[in-house]
């Protein structure tokens, strides 16, 4: 459960850290948004360092969420398969196989 929470927190920190400067620069938001953006990106990097083996997967998932949710890009079947495969493997690992011997 810890890894799932870490995955979600890291993805959110990365998305927020990238969205706030976008909001400030493209949507005429206030410049002070750069301060929480920098703090969010620092949190993102720190959270990635907690589980370096999963850092690439977290970054890839955050990028897909950004593309779909904020940029409105329609994800292909391969994008969904690529995002779903690590989640399936994580679920199998988390639930485990119980030998009924």
What is the predicted pLDDT for the residue at 99? 61
Which tens digit of pLDDT belongs to each residue from 57-91?
Answer: 667 777 777 777 777 888 888 888 877 787 787 77
Domain chopping of the chain, boundaries: 2-95
Banded pLDDT at 42 (limits 50, 70, 90): very high
pTM: 0.56
Distance CA 39, CA 47 (A): 12
**Cα dihedral sign, 5-54-35-33:** negative
Mean residue pLDDT of the chain comes to: 79
Query: Quick one: tokens of 101?
Result: 């011997």
Banded pLDDT at 98 (limits 50, 70, 90): low
**Cα dihedral sign, 17-22-27-31:** positive
Q: Stretch 96-101: mean pLDDT, rounded?
A: 61
Given a cut of 60, whether residue 34 has pLDDT beyond it is yes
What is the predicted pLDDT for the residue at 7? 78
């Amino acid at each position: 459960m810890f890894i799932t929470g870490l995955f979600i927190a890291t993805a959110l920190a990365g998305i927020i850290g990238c969205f706030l400067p976008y909001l400030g620069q493209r949507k005429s938001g206030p410049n002070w948004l750069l301060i929480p953006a920098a703090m969010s990106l620092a949190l993102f990097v720190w959270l990635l360092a907690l589980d370096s083996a999963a850092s690439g997967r977290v970054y890839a998932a955050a990028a897909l969420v950004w593309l779909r949710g904020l940029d409105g890009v329609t994800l292909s079947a391969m994008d969904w398969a690529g995002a779903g495969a690590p989640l399936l493997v994580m679920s199998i690992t988390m639930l485990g196989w119980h030998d009924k011997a």
